[in-house]
């Protein structure tokens, strides 16, 4: 039978309430990035003249549009896709950040900040390269490395806590 888990501060003297607050700050930064994405998509939607409830400009709309409208539609589609990609990954990033932060708060906070900053770089690069297939999103690809590092760290943290 396992004894009660030791307090994290005794097992890891570098962890303290301040370092855990950094993890929470990194989590909160993701909320601002999400709101920024939503507002940004709205601006691109207006410029592309794509009414609600349509999620994207269709292939046919893009192909038959004037060059200026085509560029606006591709930028809108790219902004929309960047926002959806953010939403697809946000929950996992938050969960991994919080779980890994229980055991590795400084690393989780740094990786969370890297994740947030690179989600912005990803979105800006994506929308500025819509006519080029959105290849500019690769400038922000560091979010993915931070994401998977946090996921792996959360697995290790959970294992450590179960085994404590």
pLDDT-derived band of residue 13, with 50, 70 and 90 as boundaries? Answer: very low
117 lies in some domain: yes
Region 55-77: mean pLDDT is 96
Pair of tokens at residue 40: 């940004």
Q: How far is CA 32 from CA 2, 7, 10, 54, 81, in A?
A: 41, 32, 34, 25, 18
Say yes or no to pLDDT of 11 above 50. Answer: no
pLDDT at 15: 60
CATH (domain of 75): 1.20.120.550
3 lies in some domain: no
pLDDT at 9: 45
Query: Position of tokens 């590092």?
Result: 149
Q: Which structural domain range is residue 157 located in?
A: 17-163
2 lies in some domain: no
Domains: count for the chain: 1
């Amino acid at each position: 039978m396992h004894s009660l888990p030791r307090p994290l501060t005794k097992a890891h003297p570098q962890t303290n309430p301040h370092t855990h607050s950094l993890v929470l700050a990194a989590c909160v930064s993701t909320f601002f990035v999400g709101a920024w994405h939503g507002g940004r998509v709205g601006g691109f939607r207006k410029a592309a003249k794509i009414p609600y409830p349509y999620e994207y400009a269709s292939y046919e709309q893009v192909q038959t549009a004037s060059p200026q409208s085509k560029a606006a539609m591709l930028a809108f589609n790219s902004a929309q896709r960047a926002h959806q990609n953010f939403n697809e990954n946000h929950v996992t990033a938050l969960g991994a950040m919080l779980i890994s932060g229980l055991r590795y708060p400084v690393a989780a906070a740094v990786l969370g900040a890297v994740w947030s900053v690179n989600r912005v770089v990803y979105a800006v690069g994506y929308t500025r390269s819509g006519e080029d297939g959105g290849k500019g999103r690769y400038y922000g690809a560091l979010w993915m490395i931070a994401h998977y590092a946090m996921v792996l760290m959360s697995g290790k943290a959970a294992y450590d806590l179960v085994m404590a």
